[in-house]
Amino acid sequence: MYVPRHFAFPEGAESRLQDLIEAHNFGLLVAGEDAGGAPEAAHLPFVLDRARGPLGTLIAHVARANPLWRRFAPGREVLVVFQGPHAYVSPDWYAARGLVPTWNYVAVHGYGVPRLLTDEAAATAALAALSATMEAGLAPKPPWTMDQLPAGARRSLVRGIVAFEIELARLEGKQKLNQNRSADDRAGVIAALRALGGGDALAMASAMVEREGHSAGS
């Protein structure tokens, strides 16, 4: 990923990149092309196990009918893209004049070699981890668990998917939040996004405010 210096996360920001993965865990997995073919991609929810590996381990699954998992091979890295907040920025929002439109965004790229979880118990645990992660955000209702499925249906579900994990070898982050503009310009963008409203605009305003706080504390 092309990351100009002023849009880079600071050294030692791995935990912040992990925070972004967990907050925006529906990622895009891209596997390299086969001979004569094109890259293959899939949009998937991921669980991040921070305790496994220096940068953590991603856990996910695809349908067994999805050909993507057949691209996995020893030593062959894949890319997983996590898209954070993003929003259009009008030049009218800047304090300065004569500027042009841009797009603010936050993204994280993770790289690693996938490993298939061929054991039925491991694949079941991967599915259980995903449902537990997502159900935790739905409190106070009692969480749905795989134990609520009949045993036969649970086995059928597991046999219909291919679970895998990716120990992260590299994490790259980019936060394009008008750092190359003045404090007055950034304040104008934040105010305009808040006035515009809507999920994307408000999320971007919050990301800009959060970065200002991290910058002040560094």
Q: Count of alpha carbons within 13 Å of 45, Cβ hemisphere only?
A: 11
Residue 102 φ/ψ, nearest 5 degrees: -150, 180
- Provide the pLDDT confidence category of residue 217 given band limits of 50, 70 and 90: low
Examine residue 130 and state whether it is found in any structural domain, yes or no. yes
Q: Residue 189: is its pLDDT beyond 60?
A: yes
Examine residue 91 and state whether it is found in any structural domain, yes or no. no
- The mean pLDDT value of the chain amounts to 95
Instruction: Give the domain extent around 150.
Output: 5-86+102-180
Are the C-beta atoms of 28 and 43 separated by less than 8 Å? yes
In this structure, which amino acid lies at residue 102? Answer: T
d(C-alpha 218, C-alpha 67), whole Å: 45
The beta-carbon contacts of 152-161 under 8 Å, at least 24 apart in sequence, are 154/124, 155/120, 157/127, 158/120, 158/123, 158/124, 158/127, 159/64, 159/120, 160/63, 160/64, 161/61, 161/62, 161/63, 161/64, 161/123, 161/127
Q: Which among 195, 149, 162 is positioned nearest to 60, based on CA atoms?
A: 162
Number of domains present in the structure of the chain: 1
Examine residue 97 and state whether it is found in any structural domain, yes or no. no
Mean pLDDT of 11-36: 92
Examine residue 134 and state whether it is found in any structural domain, yes or no. yes
Examine residue 197 and state whether it is found in any structural domain, yes or no. no
Any idea what the CATH number is for the domain that residue 37 is in? Answer: 2.30.110.10
Examine residue 27 and state whether it is found in any structural domain, yes or no. yes
Examine residue 48 and state whether it is found in any structural domain, yes or no. yes
**In this predicted model, what pLDDT tens digit does every residue of 38-47 receive, in sequence order?**
899 999 999 9
**In this predicted model, what pLDDT tens digit does every residue of 86-144 receive, in sequence order?**
999 999 999 999 999 999 999 999 999 999 999 999 999 999 999 999 999 898 889 99
User: What's the predicted TM-score (pTM) here?
Assistant: 0.93
pLDDT recorded at residue 216: 63
pLDDT recorded at residue 139: 81
d(C-alpha 90, C-alpha 20), whole Å: 25
Grouping H, G, I as helix, E, B as strand and the rest as coil, residue 86 is strand
Examine residue 196 and state whether it is found in any structural domain, yes or no. no
**In this predicted model, what pLDDT tens digit does every residue of 40-76 receive, in sequence order?**
999 999 999 999 999 999 999 999 999 999 999 999 9
